[in-house]
């Protein structure tokens, strides 16, 4: 009986960790809802930072652990045997999830092979702890059956949690990260090529103007090509690159890519402007 109590105490701690991981995972969904609502109103700037997202998920983790511990105590105070099949399945799945999450936290940053081995070992250990907390170790076949059942339920919950996290996190992985916009402007071959140091380039958005810079002139397909580079962090769908050559009117190029662009492996197709001038772009 004393051994069973010890296993339940360990199971309770793992259950709380599992609830924390589940809350951490679901927090990205809540963040996404709030972010998209603010984005529709043009007021998403306070959330356009990966640090804010990580803070939201961290607070959710602590809240999940606390609520999980309270729920575990409340369920077992009402009936220590936990006869409810639903509650028993919830405990099994979250104990296994908590054990796997604990293994990941302890081994985070090591080699992939070590992390996979630790995660699998933690999953097996969590399954055995859950099985030992709610039934005798003997007969062995019965214990193995409960262990396999707990492990299977835990794997299902982990799979859904990982899939949800991967799908929901992808659009926000680049929040707050600096991107580089590369632009090439093609002119007729016979035009003059002023020194690149005398050329003015700006990236303009509704909120700010970022100074960019031109690079050495190139020749492509018998045309004079001027490469340019702009570094940016702000996420907006309204971007214009303004190129001003000495003694000429500014050349405005509206960037057609998405507000939160994905990295591009090659330049876009050429986009025509006035006077046989064209440009193409790439985001990295």
pLDDT in tens, 4-47: 678 888 989 999 999 999 999 999 999 989 888 887 776 766 77
Q: Are 94 and 18 in contact (CB under 8 A)?
A: yes
Tokens, residue 253: 């190029």
Best-predicted range by mean pLDDT (15-19, 114-118, 123-127, 190-194): 15-19
Q: What Rg, from alpha-carbon coordinates, does the chain have?
A: 28
Ramachandran angles phi, psi of 193, nearest 5°: -120, 90
To the question of domain 179-283 being in CATH 3.90.75, the answer is no
List strand residue ranges (DSSP E) for the chain, in order. Answer: 179-187, 200-204, 209-214, 218-220, 223-232, 240-244, 251-254, 271-272, 278-283
Q: 90 versus 3: which is more confidently predicted?
A: 90
Q: Is pLDDT at 260 greater than 90 in this prediction?
A: no
Range scoring the smallest mean pLDDT among 84-88, 149-153, 165-169, 185-189: 84-88
Q: Is pLDDT at 148 greater than 80 in this prediction?
A: yes
Best-predicted range by mean pLDDT (53-62, 170-179, 227-236): 53-62
Q: Is pLDDT at 64 greater than 90 in this prediction?
A: yes
Q: How many CA within 13 A on the CB side of residue 258?
A: 6
Q: Is pLDDT at 2 greater than 60 in this prediction?
A: no
Tell me the pairing of strands 200-204 and 278-283.
Answer: unpaired
Q: Is pLDDT at 108 greater than 80 in this prediction?
A: no
Q: 222 versus 171: which is more confidently predicted?
A: 222
Q: What is residue 251's predicted lDDT score, i.e. its pLDDT?
A: 93
Domain extents in the chain: 2-172, 179-283
Q: What is residue 3's predicted lDDT score, i.e. its pLDDT?
A: 58
């Amino acid at each position: 009986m004393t051994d069973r109590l010890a296993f339940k105490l360990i199971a309770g701690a793992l259950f709380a960790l599992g609830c924390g991981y589940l809350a951490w995972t679901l927090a990205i969904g809540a963040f996404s809802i709030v972010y998209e609502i603010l984005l529709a109103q043009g007021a998403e700037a306070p959330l356009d930072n990966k640090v804010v997202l990580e803070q939201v998920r961290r607070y959710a983790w602590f809240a999940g652990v606390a609520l999980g511990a309270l729920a575990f105590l409340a369920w077992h105070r009402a009936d220590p045997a936990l006869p409810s099949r639903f509650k028993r399945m919830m405990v099994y799945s979250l104990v296994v999830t908590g054990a796997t999450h604990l293994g990941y936290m302890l081994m985070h940053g090591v080699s992939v092979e070590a992390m996979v081995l630790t995660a699998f070992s933690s999953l097996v250990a969590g399954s055995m702890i859950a099985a030992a907390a709610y039934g005798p170790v003997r007969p062995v076949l019965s214990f193995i059956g409960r262990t396999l059942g707990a492990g299977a339920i835990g794997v299902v919950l982990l799979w859904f949690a990982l899939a949800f996290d991967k799908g929901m996190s992808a659009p926000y992985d680049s929040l707050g990260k600096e991107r580089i916009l590369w632009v090439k402007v093609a002119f007729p071959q016979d035009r003059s090529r002023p020194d690149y140091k005398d050329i003015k380039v700006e990236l303009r958005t509704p909120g700010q103007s970022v100074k960019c810079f031109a690079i050495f002139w190139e020749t492509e397909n018998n045309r004079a090509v001027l490469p340019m580079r702009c570094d940016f962090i702000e996420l907006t769908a309204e971007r214009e690159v303004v190129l001003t050559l000495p003694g000429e009117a500014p050349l405005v190029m509206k960037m057609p890519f998405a507000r939160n662009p994905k990295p591009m492996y090659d330049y876009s197709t050429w986009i025509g402007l006035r006077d046989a001038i064209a440009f193409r772009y790439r985001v990295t």
